[in-house]
Structure 1
Amino acid sequence: MVVPYLTMVSRDALAGTLAAPAGPVVLTVTGKIDNTNAPSAAQFDLAMLEALPGRVARVTTPWAEGVNDFKGPLTRALLEAVGARGTKLKVTALNDYSAEVPFEDFMKFDVILAVKKNDAYLPVRNQGPIFVIYPFDTTPNLYNEVYFGRSVWQVKSIEVQ
C-alpha cells in the first residue's frame, strides 16, 4: 500500500538553492552536484530531509519482523534538490560500509531515505539515522539480494559519480 505524504517546499528550494542546516548534519551529498550549502557538498539535517517530498512505505523487509511503516523523502527529490547528475551513487554508512547504486534506481523507483519507522525516528543503534528503503510494497520484484545489498542503513553520505 502506498501512502504518499506532501510537504511544503520552501521558495529557496524551488529556486535551486540550499539553505544551511539548522540542526545536526545527518547526511552529506558530494560529487557531481550543482547545489551546495557547504564547501563542495550539500549538507542536510533531519528537518531539511523531512521537508522534501516523500512517502510512507508499508513493507516487509529481511531486517525487521512483520510489516513496518518507513517514512522519509524520496531519493529522487534529494537528487533533484542538489542538482545531481551522474550514473551511479556511492551510499556510505556510519561504519564506512558502502554500496554502489545505479543513479537510475533512485530516479525510477519510489526509493526513500527512511528517517522514521512506525512513526519513531530511527536511532543509530537500530539502522538510523537514515535507511535506504526500496519500494518492496509497490514493486515486489525488487525483493531480492541485489536490492537488499543496496539498502544501506546508518547512511551518512551519498557521493554522486
Structure 2
Amino acid sequence: MLRHTLACAAHPLRGKGDARRMIWAQRTARAAFVFAATSLSAPVTNAEEGTFPAPAGEVVLTITGNISQTNRDHMAVFDEEMLRALPWTTLETTTVVTDGVKRFDGFLMRDLLDYVGAEGTGVTAVALNDYVIEIPMEDFSRFDVLIAASMDGKRLLPSDKGPFWIVYPRDDHEELQDIRYDYRWVWQLIELEVH
C-alpha cells in the first residue's frame, strides 16, 4: 500500500475521479460476478481477420491512441467475455505490497496490444483511483508483463487492486526489482492509451 500511495503522490491526477469511481464501482460489481462464474479458456478471435466485435456486456477496459483495430468511436473497448478470449497465462512472483509469492492469472500485455494493432513507443496506464503513468512499449517485448485479473485464484475487485493489475515478473529478472519498475505495477487498471 505504501508503494502505491507514494506513487500516486508522485504522478499527475486526472481529475474526473468521483464520477468515474461511482460509474466504475457499479459496472465492476456486476461484471465481477459474471467473470468469476465463467471459464477463462475460450478461444481467441484474431483481430487481423477483421472480426473485432463490440462488447455485449459492461466495458471493463478501454484502449485509445495509436491502434488500428477499434470497435467504438476510434477506441477498443472490452467486456469480460472479450478479454477471456485472449490467451491466458499464469505468473508466480513476489510483489512489494504483498507477502510471499503470489499466483496471478491474466493475459500478456503484448498479446492485448497486438490484438488491437498498437503502434508506438509507450503506453499511458490509467487507474480507477486516478493514478497515471507512462510505460515504455519495450517493457512488453522484453518481459512477460501480465494484466492480471486474479491473485491466488480470487478475482481482483476494485476494492483490492482490481479489476486489473499490471504485474511484472520481478522474480525472474533482477533488473525488475528496481523501484522504477515498481511504479509501473498499476492496479485498478481501466484504460490504456498507446502513443
Matched, 1:130 2:158: no
What residue number does 2:141 align with?
107
> In angstroms, what is the RMSD of aligned CA positions?
1.7
Residue pair 2:106, 2:146 contacting (<8 A) in 1 also:
yes
1:51 corresponds in structure 2 to 85
Gaps in structure 2 of 5+ consecutive residues: 1-39
CA distance in 1, matches of 2:128, 2:170: 24
Shift of 1:95: 1.7
Whole-angstrom distance in 2 between the partners of 1:119 and 1:126: 14
Q: Please, which moves more after superposition, 29-38 or 12-21?
A: 12-21
Alignment of 1:24-103 (within 5 A): 24-103=58-137
- How big is the shift at 1:96? 1.5
Query: What is the alpha-carbon distance in structure 2 between the residues aligned to residue 16 and residue 147 of structure 1?
Result: 35
Against the structure 1 CA distance between its residues 23 and 140, is the aligned structure 2 distance closer, same or farther, given a 3 Å change threshold? farther
Distance (whole Å) between structure 2 residues aligned to residue 119 and residue 91 of structure 1: 24
Q: Which has the larger radius of gyration?
A: 2
Q: Which has the higher helix share?
A: 2
Q: Tell me how far apart the structure 1 counterparts of residues 177 and 80 of structure 2 sit (CA, whole Å).
A: 27
Structure 1 unaligned segments of length 5 or more: list them: none
Q: Helix, strand or coil for the counterpart of 1:96?
A: coil
Quote how far apart the aligned CAs of 1:81 are.
0.5
Distance 1:125 1:52 in 2: 25
Query: Is the deviation greater in 103-112 or in 78-87?
Result: 103-112
The one-letter code of the counterpart of 1:104 is E
Amino acid paired to 1:42: A
2:195 counterpart of 1:156: no
Deviation at 1:55, TM superposition (A): 1.5
Provide the secondary structure at the position in 2 that maps to 1:77. Answer: helix
Question: What SS does the corresponding residue of 2:64 show, helix, strand or coil?
Answer: strand
